[in-house]
Structure 1
Amino acid sequence: MEMLDNKRYVAHLDLDTFFVSVERLKNSELEGRPLIVGGMSDRAVVSACSYETRRFGVHSAMPMKLALRLCPHAIVLRGDMDSYSYYSRLVTDVVRDTVPLMEKASVDEFYVDLTGVDRFFGCSKFMVELKNKIKKESGLPISYALASNKLISKVATDDAKPDGMREIAHGLEKSYLAPLRIQRMPGIGEKTSTLLQQMGVRTIKLLSEIPVPMMQNLLGKNGVELSRKANGIDPSPIIPYSEQKSIGSEETFMQDTIDMVFLQSELIRMTEKLTFQLRKQQRLTGCVTVKLRYANFDTVSKQMVIPYTASDAVLLKKTKELFLKLYEKRILVRLIGVRFSHLVQGSQQINLFEDTEEAVRLYQAMDAMRARYGEEAVKRAISLPKGELKKRVGS
């Protein structure tokens, strides 16, 4: 790959079958065997699976009962959130300490901007050494692709797996994408894929040839974006990773209070609101903070680093634990706040092994109602003030 000063170099790194790889790191006897990480009952869902099980049609988010029907000899392991979060943070530290600019795209994937590195070291050599360093310090296999932008590097990483590397030279972006199925294009979901295939568009080459006005009429702004990507163009920047990214909520009461039921109901209400925001943004949090301000304006807070999650059940438990450690009885409270930080992109896959298929569907249905009718549309009964609860029960 020719390295010129005016060209951009972006690499995408993806930890191969991350959950499975961590389990094999903990137990070498699992190497090469068909593994499923998920719940332990037939009613649970698959959180992750090894390449050995994928050959039988098993994939993440599949009902466990169906997965075991497809691959009855698979070994099922309950997921270990503590271990996955530990190794995610370990690899994050290695990458962050090595590269000039990093974006943590999820718990198991990263983008790095190496523009300018070619003048001093060479991007290809740099990436080989980074891959080896990650393997040495974490024990985990990782694949990467080096290209001119985030889109091409992400798509090409799939071709590098497992435990491989790929480079797409500048100027070859469009020709690389052309023969690929449209489902390989980030941003094309099931609904859009079905629509395009009904029009006879099955490859990215055909997608790139559709006039932009037609794509706009068909899919709006997303159509214009997809047209640009189909031609290999992606100017989106690397978003520098920061553990300080956070979302939060605070409530200052009209009247200071020591009513524990009221305080805990407010805590639950805020936590549910924030966890919905996490899932809506497809993010996970790795740190929870609870804040209290007393009537005399003394302000105290306590935080807890936790395994990455966007689960109501987990986060409600953690915020309650922090509140009980902070709260001093008989002192009036003026303000209460909750904050989630150490945010990373990612789905709730990391918690699927905690939930049954029915529970996952329930969360999805609740989130759909909140998205349609507002964040306050669905609440736990305990988060409602006594008067409002009576009113709702009586109505």
Structure 2
Amino acid sequence: MDLDAFFVSCERRQNRELKDIPLIIGGGDRGVVASCSYEARKFGVRSAMPIRMALRLCPDAKVIKGDYELYSQLSHTVTEIIQEKVPVMEKASIDEFYLDLSGMDKFFGCFQWTQEIVSAVTKETGLPISFALSGNKTVSKIGTGESKPEGNRHIIESEVRPFLNPLSVKKIPMVGDKTFQLLSRIGIRTIHTLSEMPVLVLQQMIGANGKELWKKANGIDENPVIPYSEKKSISTEKTFAVDTIDVHELKRILSGMAEKLAYQLRQEQWLTSTVVVKIRYANFDTETKQMRIAYNSADHTLSRVALELFNKLYTRRMRIRLIGLRFTDLVHGNHQMNLFEDTEEQMSLYQTMDYLKNRFGADAVGRAVGFDFGK
């Protein structure tokens, strides 16, 4: 199940005057498109495209910065609705869900059951949602994309290959622009052509993912639906050998923690929606403060929130024994899902920094604020 143009739908839910007009969600002239309406997509506007380029393609589009707190809130509401009604649910991103309905056909019928869920989501939130029912996650995801907006599709086993074959290889979730260009250069543009390629050839071209790509092209995907839980978190903390009251040093450490945890989020393809700062005073009193944010994995956003929380939390002016940071309420996704305030330069910076960290280690490069130059 996938919410249709989720950010746009949230804005239209709040303001009916935005209905049926080209709409772009994103930030500033130097920012990028976080989401766009289907009306804007007809002009070639796409997510992650620079705002300036999008407006050249669609000059009449209305640009809205985006209310990411609203989007997070509505995402949680939809999650709760679905989770109450299905045996196993995986929240793949802020607006995308996998449901395992194995066995439900014996009692109610999987397709009718899913339609009931769609009705409940739309009735309770006013948000449009599409779905595709099939035997595995890959076919269901592609089918949902082909059903949008507000569509549905039931792809039985015998229809999987006829459904996939004519589609572009770009429809396969793991195929990005670089892989598509590589395949196109040797004439592989449809899933049918890709499915008939020898596995060894694909492995030589693409590497270890060659076999997985071949399997997906043939409608094969053994990945299970992973039960969703918002309890998952990542955290780090530091206990000082000597209790400290050096606020500048505490903030430096906290910024470094935020950068390292944000890198871990991106590497594991997580987004966080809750930031928690923890301090323990010299007398062992422990206090925490948290803030709910839009799903995010960007250093500059998470570091800013962490420092805001620290400023609100540290009010007793006593020496501190421990400081910690935790990111929780995680969902799978990548940073392209939250581009409201980012610029093209920032996105390029993250890609470069992550490349260097992957190659030379997590401490190979970082923001100056997080380093201790006295050591």
Q: What range is the shorter-chain TM-score in?
A: over 0.9
Report deviation, 1:280: 2.6
Q: Which moved more, 1:64-73 or 1:363-372?
A: 363-372
Report deviation, 1:254: 2.5
Please show how residues 41-56 of structure 1 align to structure 2 within 5 Å.
41=29, 43-56=30-43
Q: Does 1:131 align with 2:109?
A: no
Is the CA contact (8 Å cut-off) linking 1:35 and 1:53 kept in structure 2? yes
Please show how residues 183-332 of structure 1 align to structure 2 within 5 Å.
183-327=170-314, 329-332=316-319
Q: Determine what percentage of the aligned residue pairs are the same residue.
A: 53
Is the CA contact (8 Å cut-off) linking 1:258 and 1:329 kept in structure 2? no
Is the CA contact (8 Å cut-off) linking 2:294 and 2:338 kept in structure 1? no
SS in 1 for 2:202: helix
Of 144, 150, 157 in structure 1, the residue corresponding to residue 144 of structure 2 is 157
Structure 2 partner of 1:148: 135
Q: Does 1:76 align with 2:69?
A: no
Residue-pair matches, total: 375
Structure 2 partner of 1:39: 27
Report deviation, 1:292: 2.0
Structure 2 partner of 1:3: none
Of 97, 100, 108 in structure 1, the residue corresponding to residue 87 of structure 2 is 100
Is the CA contact (8 Å cut-off) linking 1:56 and 1:71 kept in structure 2? yes
Distance of 2:160 and 2:75 partners within structure 1: 30
Q: Deviations over 1:74-116 (max 9, x none)?
A: 1111111111111111111111111111000000110010001
Q: Structure 1's 351 and 230: CA in aligned 2 closer, same or farther, altered over 3 A?
A: closer
Q: Deviations over 1:143-199 (max 9, x none)?
A: 000000101100000111110101101233223212211111121122222222222
Report deviation, 1:18: 0.7
Is the CA contact (8 Å cut-off) linking 1:293 and 1:300 kept in structure 2? yes
Q: Structure 1's 311 and 213: CA in aligned 2 closer, same or farther, altered over 3 A?
A: closer
SS in 1 for 2:193: helix
Q: Structure 1's 330 and 20: CA in aligned 2 closer, same or farther, altered over 3 A?
A: closer
Alignment RMSD: 1.7
Q: Which moved more, 1:200-209 or 1:289-298?
A: 289-298
Unaligned runs of 5+ in 1: 1-12, 389-395
Report deviation, 1:330: 4.5
Distance of 2:356 and 2:373 partners within structure 1: 23
Report deviation, 1:208: 1.4
Is the CA contact (8 Å cut-off) linking 2:353 and 2:366 kept in structure 1? no
Is the CA contact (8 Å cut-off) linking 1:81 and 1:350 kept in structure 2? no
Distance of 1:372 and 1:277 partners within structure 2: 14
Distance of 1:266 and 1:46 partners within structure 2: 33
Q: Name the TM-score, length of structure 2 as normaliser.
A: 0.95
What residue identity is the alignment partner of 1:142?
Answer: I
Is the CA contact (8 Å cut-off) linking 1:285 and 1:344 kept in structure 2? yes
Q: Structure 1's 19 and 99: CA in aligned 2 closer, same or farther, altered over 3 A?
A: same
Is the CA contact (8 Å cut-off) linking 1:288 and 1:338 kept in structure 2? yes
What residue identity is the alignment partner of 1:294?
Answer: Y
Q: Does 1:63 align with 2:24?
A: no
Q: Name the TM-score, length of structure 1 as normaliser.
A: 0.90
Unaligned runs of 5+ in 2: none
Distance of 1:172 and 1:368 partners within structure 2: 41
Report deviation, 1:328: 5.1
Q: Which moved more, 1:302-311 or 1:89-98?
A: 302-311
